Amino acid sequence: MKKILLLSTGGTISSIESNNGLIPSNLNHVLSFLGVIKGFKLDTRELMVLDSTNIQPEEWKIIATAIYENLNNYDGIVITHGTDTMAYTASMMSFMIQNPNIPIVFTGSQLPIDNEMTDAISNLRQAFKMALSGYRGIFVAFDKEIILATRCVKVATSSFHAFESINTTPIGKIDSKGLFINSDKLPAYQDEVIFSPNIETNVFLLKLTPATDPKIIDILINSNVKGIVIEAFGQGGIQFIRRDFTPYLKKALKLNIPIVVSSQCLYDGVNLNIYEVGKKSLENGVITANDMTNESCITKLMWALGQTNDIKEIRHIFNQNIAGEKNWYKNGNSKF
C-alpha cells in the first residue's frame, strides 16, 4: 500500500473563530473532518501552527528540511499551508529541493475546514490524488487544478479559484473522470536530488509607479540590501526622464548588488530588447526575469544569493530553468 505524509503548517484550512478573528488551529482539528482514508496509508506531522502571513524564511527552512528528510520514506508528501504566501513557499521549495523524486503537493483552503461551505476537504483529496500519481515535482493543488509551484500566483482573496498558473496552463486537472496530467509540461528533472537550503533573505521587491523617486535605490543600498527585484512597467520599462533610474542602477551593480527586472503584468513576461526604456536598463547590467512570476523571481534571487555573491554567477543561475520557472512558451501548446 502506498504511503503519504501530511505536513501541517496552519493556515485558513485549520482556522477557528476567536475574539481576534480567525486563527490557525492544530492538525488534529483538520484530521477530525477528513473521515476514513482509503487506498493509502496516511502519516501526519505538525510542523507549525501559523497564519501563512507569519511564515517567513525561517519557516521555509523547517518545511524544506522536513520534506527532504522524508523523500525516501513516502510515495508522496502533502503540505497544508495558508493561501496568502503559499506561492512563495512552494516556489522556494522548488529551489531548495531540486529534482525531487516524488510528488510534493501544497494545498489549503479559502474557508476553514469546519465551515459548511468549505473547499478544504475537496482540495485535500485533490492533493492526495496528485501525491499518489508518481509524477516528480513540486505542485499546488487547488480548485481542481494542479499547478507547478514556480508558476503559481494567488489572484483572488475570497474566490475558491484562488490561484492561477501563469504563462503556462495547469500541469493537471481533476474532474469526474479523475486526474489528468499533461506530462509534456513537466520539467526535465535530473536523477540526483539536490538539497540546497541556504538563502539570502535581504532581497527587496520594488514596484515602480510613475512617481517613484529613484533615490530609493540609494536607501536600499544604505540598508545593506543584497539584491533587488524591480517590478517594472509592461515589457520591463524603467523611467529615465526626470526621475532617472540609470545612475542608480549603475551604482547598485558596481556595488555587486544584482537587479532583476520583472513586469507588473501577470502574463507574457518581460523583453528588455523592444523599447528604449528597457534597453537602457539592459545595457546597465540588469538581469531579465523573462516570463517568471514575481514570486519565483524573489525566491530564486534569495536562493541564488545564498549560493554566491558573484553577479556573473547569479546571471548564469537566472539563465537556467531549474524547476520550470521560465521559458514555458517553448514547450508547445497544452493538451488542455
Is there a single domain that holds both residue 51 and residue 170? Answer: yes
Using the Cα atoms of residue 48, residue 32, residue 144 and residue 128 in order, give the sign of their dihedral: positive
Name the grid cell of 121: 476537504
pLDDT of residue 279: 87
Is there a single domain that holds both residue 75 and residue 159? Answer: yes
Distances in Å between the Cα of 122 and the Cα atoms of 110, 115, 335 are: 11, 13, 24
pLDDT of residue 278: 87
Cα separation, 123 vs 142, in Å, equals 5
Residue 179: which CATH number? 3.40.50.1170
Task: Evaluate whether 222 touches 173 at the Cβ level (below 8 Å).
Answer: no
Is there a single domain that holds both residue 180 and residue 39? Answer: yes
Cα separation, 229 vs 200, in Å, equals 14
Is there a single domain that holds both residue 91 and residue 154? Answer: yes
177 within a domain of the structure (yes/no): yes
330 within a domain of the structure (yes/no): no
60 within a domain of the structure (yes/no): yes
Is there a single domain that holds both residue 113 and residue 228? Answer: no
Is there a single domain that holds both residue 15 and residue 152? Answer: yes
272 within a domain of the structure (yes/no): yes
104 within a domain of the structure (yes/no): yes
The DSSP line for 70-105 is TTTT-SEEEEE--STTHHHHHHHHHHHEES-SSEEE
Is there a single domain that holds both residue 71 and residue 165? Answer: yes
Residue 235: which CATH number? 3.40.50.40
Q: Which of 195, 211, 226 is the last residue of a domain?
A: 195
Is there a single domain that holds both residue 167 and residue 218? Answer: no
Q: Which of 195, 212, 227 is the last residue of a domain?
A: 195
Is there a single domain that holds both residue 146 and residue 98? Answer: yes
Task: Return averaged pLDDT per consecutive 10 residues of the chain, 336 residues in all.
Answer: 97 93 92 89 97 97 98 98 98 98 98 96 97 97 98 97 96 94 91 97 98 97 97 94 95 96 95 87 92 97 97 95 78 37
pLDDT of residue 249: 95
Using the Cα atoms of residue 180, residue 332, residue 315 and residue 277 in order, give the sign of their dihedral: negative
326 within a domain of the structure (yes/no): no
- The pTM score is 0.95
pLDDT of residue 331: 38
335 within a domain of the structure (yes/no): no
Is there a single domain that holds both residue 129 and residue 220? Answer: no
Is there a single domain that holds both residue 300 and residue 166? Answer: no
pLDDT of residue 145: 98
Q: Which of 170, 195, 220 is the last residue of a domain?
A: 195
Is there a single domain that holds both residue 18 and residue 126? Answer: yes
Question: What's the total number of domains in the chain?
Answer: 2
Domain that holds residue 295: 203-319
Catalytic residues: 12, 83-84, 154, 275
